Amino acid sequence: MEQPIRILIVEDNVIIADDMQSMLEEIGYEIVDNVIVYEQAEEVLKTKEVDLVLIDIILASDKTGIDLGKHIRENYDIPFIFVTSNSDRATVENAKTVKPNGYLVKPFEQQDLYTSIEIALSNFIYSDGKPSSNDGSSDVPMSNSVLKDSIFVKKQHLYYRIQFEEIQFIKADNVYLEVNTVDKKFLVRSPLKDYLEKLPKHKFYRAHKSYIVNVDHIDAINSKDIMINNNLIPISKEFKEFIISAMNS
């Protein structure tokens, strides 16, 4: 099932926060919560699934939005955007230390907010959601990982979360990929080889030079094709041998 992007708003000006929430909900995003201080945001991140955080730098608490950004970088694999009235050099340089995925200066329009979120998500997704670590470690807690059991696929003007298990097969079509679920198709601009690397290796295989398939959805097989949801998909000799071997094991 398609699921809108889940956003946490951290903003100590209630009027601005409510206005942001209205803008986001009108576009089609889901607001997980709307909080005013660091401690509340920390609790939401612990207990709820969040895909992106919008953070005011100056909060109604001792800890700032930059402190929250640092906390997110150290504990969660999700993007965040600073939303602030401050665009002076000192604030920007301080903000850069925690590597935000965006920086939006108030006042802004709905389109500005939408654009910042889409660019942040797009950059985060295509970098595999792996921010750099000071100690070289890749041991990032996965409780809120964007790519833990799903992947984002763009449809019209929004990115939707698609569970890996719902993807049946992926077909290469020139510079685009056609991602097929049970009842929907999505177009993605990516090489087939690169996209395969984002998918679980024990479920998804290159069945043909132009196809990736989820083996859990294979309904039938013959000498040249497999069938998935009434779609005949050509297969390579190597993939045929792999499937037959798996069936006989």
Which is more confident, 64 or 139? Answer: 64
* In the predicted structure, residue 152 carries a pLDDT above the cut 60: yes
Integer-rounded Cα Rg, in Å, for the chain is 21
For the record, the structure tokens of 98 come out as: 């925690």
Q: What mean pLDDT is predicted for residues 58-74?
A: 93
Which is more confident, 67 or 193? Answer: 67
Which of the four pLDDT bands, split at 50, 70 and 90, describes residue 125?
A: low
* Residue 3 DSSP label: B
Res 158: pLDDT: 67
Name residue 206's beta-bridge partners. 212
Strand order in the sheet with 80-84: 30-35, 6-10, 52-55, 80-84, 102-105
CA distance 14 to 35: 9
The answer to which of 10-14, 50-54, 88-92, 124-128 has the lowest mean pLDDT is: 124-128
Res 28: pLDDT: 86
CA distance 134 to 127: 17
176-207 per-position pLDDT tens digit: 889 999 888 888 877 888 888 888 888 999 99
Helix (H, G, I), strand (E, B) or coil at 167: coil
Q: What mean pLDDT is predicted for residues 75-96?
A: 90
Ordered by where they begin, the domains of the chain are 6-126 (3.40.50.2300), 166-248 (2.40.50.1020)
158-174 per-position pLDDT tens digit: 667 788 999 999 999 87
CA distance 32 to 23: 14
Q: What mean pLDDT is predicted for residues 211-218?
A: 95
CA distance 78 to 131: 9
CA distance 17 to 73: 23
Helix (H, G, I), strand (E, B) or coil at 166: helix
Percent of the chain residues past pLDDT 70, beyond the cut = 87
